[in-house]
Amino acid sequence: MTELPEVLFSNPVWHALIGPHRHLRLALGAACRYPADVAPFAAIAAPAEPAFDALRDLLAPDESVWIADYGRSAAGIKVLDALACVQMVLPADAEPCAQSREVVPLTAANAQEMVALTDVAFPGFFRAKTYRMGYYCGIRIDGRLVAMAGERLCLDGYPELSGICTHPAHRGQGLASAAIAHLVARHRRAGLRSWLHVGAPNTRAIDLYSSLGFQRVRTVMLHRIVRSA
């Protein structure tokens, strides 16, 4: 079975924040979000006016966050951008990924290194306390962190792979694949299903994940919104 449950994955930020990540939740009525230094994501239970009002009140003036399937502006909130993201899952019967490099755990002590590395690939998504969302690991060459991966949204039984990146000077060496293999092995030992989001335009990453056995399930639309008043 490769399908990800629609009830969870059509609004994954909401279900993460009312589930395994509730200790990170900032909530007001039918809206919730991660702290700004953890992740730029928010969610509402359903598209209704009281939820939009609560969401606005959770944001600082001019602060922007990403939300799944929002789709329209509301009072005091403006939609800035949209990004189609592909959800992919690793089937339970997929062949194990080969881990060819030494992968080491990353902790709060490595937060600055992780932010610096991810800012090369996707600036602004990985924050000073994103490490609180799950387990992170990396690969070092001559003591320098050059590749990493970790867990972001956490749903019951389904930890999301994220923060996957390699420094441009070290790409093409299989480092990201090794970090992914390390995480997948941990998930399988725990009886969990590995999944991820990838921007639909990022065909290079989609091809990599496909080569590792991940299969497309659905495309979701993320919107970047800002509190405008």
Question: Is-same-fold flag (6-84+222-227; 87-219)?
Answer: yes
Structural domain boundaries in the chain: 6-84+222-227, 87-219
If you classify domain 6-84+222-227 with CATH, what class do you get? alpha beta
CATH classification of 87-219 is 3.40.630.30, yes or no?
yes
The model's pLDDT over 209-221, given as tens digits with 9 standing for 90+, comes to 999 999 999 999 9
The model's pLDDT over 103-144, given as tens digits with 9 standing for 90+, comes to 999 999 999 999 999 999 889 899 999 999 999 999 999 999
The larger pLDDT score, comparing residue 73 to residue 216, is at: 216
What pLDDT is recorded for position 121? 87
The model's pLDDT over 143-174, given as tens digits with 9 standing for 90+, comes to 999 999 999 999 999 999 999 999 999 999 99
Residues above pLDDT 90, as percent of the chain: 83
Full DSSP string of 90-151:
--TTSPPPP--S--EEE-GGGHHHHHHHHHHHSTTTS-TTGGGGS-EEEEEETTEEEEEEEE
Q: Is the dihedral of CA 77, 81, 84, 88 positive or negative?
A: negative
Mean of the pLDDT values across residues 6-24?
Answer: 94
Alpha-carbon Rg for the chain in angstroms: 17
Tell me how far CA of residue 167 lies from CA of 106, 117, 120, in angstroms: 16, 7, 7
